[in-house]
Amino acid sequence: MQKEVLWKAADHVHHFDEDIALLKQLGVRAYRFSIAWSRILPEGSGRVSEQGLMFYHRLIDGLVENGILPIVTLLHDDLPLALARQGGWFNRKTIDAFLVYCRILFEHFGRQVYLWQPIGEQNLQVIAEITAQRHTLSEIFQMNHHLFLAQAGAVKLGRVYGVCGKFSPALNLVEVIAASPDPLDVLAAKQMATIRNWMFLDVAMQGEYSSSDRALLRQLNAEPVWEVQDEALLREGVCDQIAFSTYTSVCVGAWKQSGFQDHTGMKYGFNLPGMFEIVPNPCLKPTEFAAEVDPLGTRLILQEAAQRYQKPIFAILRSLGQEETISEEGKIHDEARIRYLALQFQQMKAAIADGVQLIGICPWSAFDLVSTAEGWKRRYGFVYVGQQQNCRRIPKQSYAWYRGVIAENGRTL
């Protein structure tokens, strides 16, 4: 991505009043967004930016005044540069800096935020480090342990401050399917599911690594080093409910060095030499949606998470990314997105019928935004952001469709 594109982004700071009005017209009851740590503490610690705090006060006040519940992610891939230069999450001291940042937010917004999500897609951060091969597995899972402690510390601190909202992780989960009935493939799929999905919910929802989690880390020679207080902190920082993004499944077999890679670049699947590898799923044919999409996988992962943890689930549904242009009539036609979302919503309705306590859905995203993977190449929102038109907002065809879905509570899907 070009630096100047990242710098401008969607300009939410100068359009938030308009954006809130569009959200209200859409009919949503909640809005999920991230607070930028560096906008509150430019150096990661020390001086607090009153200008940054004022922006979030105005945004959150505006949402609440319009009957929209704020869902806040405290950190999502945007660690302040000063802390990154000190080792980032590989440095245990980053936990303390994070909790100082959390304390500021709890003091200012603790009475207004509906749901707090301390760490965004922690498991994808781990997968990114594994695939980058810059660090040993031992170092990576030590970093992961620090993230667990940071999340638990935030939950504990929020309760000390008496915040009104609940807490959840914000993971990315996928249904992991064995490549064949071969027991070796079944074992490989279970191992990936543990290391990719369940370890993260075990710690977030139960306050401890399960015996399976620990055994797998031992096999990888990647058990983290614990300090005396860690066990108690994880138990005291258990989340209230589950939240995760999803939209597909991944097919996994025993390690055979086949060389297949996740062509989407989205880190949904990855290879772990000597243990498992991802393979194409012959039952999922290419679709109009470019990336491999499995709506039934959404239903299956919702079922499994509900059965394992018996907690309410808030789903973050990744929307369809596609290249878009404004028509001569000044409109954006995104019929493919409508078809894609309808398939996903139908499977979510089926999951509810299965007994899943699905309490809400937030499609990602309401507005076009800069993707950390692709910049502005693909757009995901219900509202078009004209990057070359001073970030002009234009509701898409899917905006009108989704407004109808909300008004009918999905009855006609």
Least trusted range by pLDDT, from 37-46, 206-215, 291-300, 338-347: 291-300
pTM of the complete model: 0.95
pLDDT-derived band at 264 (thresholds 50, 70, 90) equals low
Buried b / exposed e across 253-279, counting CB within 10 Å, b at 16+? bbbeeeeeebeeebbbbbbbeebbbbb
Residues 288/346, Cβ–Cβ less than 8 Å: no
Q: What does the pLDDT average to over 24-37?
A: 98
**What is the length of the chain?**
413
Copy the structure tokens of residue 409: 């509570």
- Domain assignment present for residue 149? The answer is yes
pLDDT the model gives residue 257: 85
CA distances in angstroms from 105 to 32, 109, 168, listed in the order given: 16, 6, 16
CA distances in angstroms from 350 to 24, 150, 249, 308, listed in the order given: 28, 35, 17, 18
Q: What is the percent of the chain where pLDDT is above 70?
A: 94
Res 6 pLDDT > 80: no
User: For residue 301, what is the domain's CATH number?
Assistant: 3.20.20.80
Element (H, E) at 62: helix 50-65
pLDDT the model gives residue 267: 59
- Domain assignment present for residue 352? The answer is no
Residues 226/141, Cβ–Cβ less than 8 Å: no
Indicate the average pLDDT of the chain: 94
Copy the structure tokens of residue 290: 């470019």
Least trusted range by pLDDT, from 80-84, 129-133, 346-350: 129-133
Least trusted range by pLDDT, from 138-142, 209-213, 248-252, 349-353: 248-252
- Domain assignment present for residue 253? The answer is no
pLDDT-derived band at 262 (thresholds 50, 70, 90) equals low
Is cis: bond before 319, omega within 30 of 0?
Answer: no
Range of the domain at 106: 29-173+196-247+293-318
Nearest alpha carbon to residue 77 among 5, 18, 138, 147: 147
DSSP letter at 304 equals H
Instruction: Please list, in sequence order, all residues whose beta carbon lies within 8 angstroms of the beta carbon of residue 31, skipping any fewer than 6 positions away.
Output: 23, 63, 68, 69, 70, 71, 362, 366
Q: What does the pLDDT average to over 29-57?
A: 98
- Domain assignment present for residue 413? The answer is no
Element (H, E) at 348: helix 335-353
Res 5 pLDDT > 50: no
**Interatomic CA distance for residues 209 and 104, integer angstroms:** 30
- Domain assignment present for residue 301? The answer is yes
Res 304 pLDDT > 70: yes
pLDDT-derived band at 258 (thresholds 50, 70, 90) equals confident
Res 59 pLDDT > 70: yes
Q: What does the pLDDT average to over 75-89?
A: 97
Q: What is the percent of the chain where pLDDT is above 90?
A: 85
- Domain assignment present for residue 302? The answer is yes
pLDDT the model gives residue 292: 73
Alpha helices by DSSP H, 161-294: 183-193, 199-206, 211-219, 230-236
- Domain assignment present for residue 123? The answer is yes
pLDDT-derived band at 268 (thresholds 50, 70, 90) equals confident
CA distances in angstroms from 329 to 16, 103, 110, 392, listed in the order given: 26, 49, 45, 15
pLDDT the model gives residue 290: 59
Q: Give the residues across from 171 on adjacent strands.
A: 244
What is the side-by-side strand order in the sheet with 358-364?
171-172, 242-246, 313-318, 358-364
pLDDT tens readout for residues 150-194: 999 999 999 999 999 999 999 999 999 999 999 999 999 999 999
Res 2 pLDDT > 80: no
pLDDT the model gives residue 81: 97
Which amino acid type is present at position 395? P
CA distances in angstroms from 287 to 219, 284, 290, 292, 350, listed in the order given: 38, 9, 6, 7, 22
pLDDT-derived band at 38 (thresholds 50, 70, 90) equals very high
Res 88 pLDDT > 60: yes
Q: What does the pLDDT average to over 205-221?
A: 98
pLDDT tens readout for residues 220-256: 999 999 999 999 999 999 999 999 999 889 999 999 9
Res 329 pLDDT > 60: yes
Residues 208/225, Cβ–Cβ less than 8 Å: no
In the chain, the number of structural domains is: 1
Res 263 pLDDT > 90: no
- Domain assignment present for residue 143? The answer is yes
Res 149 pLDDT > 70: yes
